[in-house]
Amino acid sequence: LDCGGCGRSDCHELAGEIVAGKADVSECTALSSQGIEISVNGRTVPLNPFVSNLLHNTLKGMLSSLKGCGAGKVEIRMDTSDRSEPEDSNG
């Protein structure tokens, strides 16, 4: 990702420091919990801070306008599999 959220120039630099025992994996802002997590087929998708904040705030804004959606943990599941075209009702 090389987002720079940890203060390093790239992910390789932070990884080297982690291996050398000079840094901890929790310093990676893309892997740390920022209120939103996306997984596809059970595999977590790393998000840089900008994308994480964008998704979090966008979804929070949309959900706040729905009746009965108060504060708390939200779980959204979405199937992105290709879907066949809807059948024509004329034949």
Question: Which residue did the predictor score with more confidence, 25 or 82?
Answer: 25
The amino acid at 50: F
Question: What is the rounded radius of gyration, in angstroms, for the C-alpha atoms of the chain?
Answer: 19
Is residue 7 a contact partner of residue 17, using CB atoms and an 8 Å limit?
Answer: no
Question: Which residue did the predictor score with more confidence, 75 or 10?
Answer: 10
Q: What secondary structure, in 3-state letters, does the chain show? A: CCCCCCCCCCHHHHHHHHHCCCCCHHHCCCCCCCCCCEEECCEEECCCHHHHHHHHHHHHHHHHCCCCCCCCCCCCCCCCCCCCCCCCCCC
pLDDT at 68: 80
Which tens digits make up the pLDDT trace of 21-75? Answer: 999 888 887 776 567 888 889 888 888 778 888 888 898 888 888 888 777 788 8
What are the structure tokens assigned to 28, written together?
């990676």
Quickly state the pLDDT bin for 15 (edges 50, 70, 90). Answer: very high
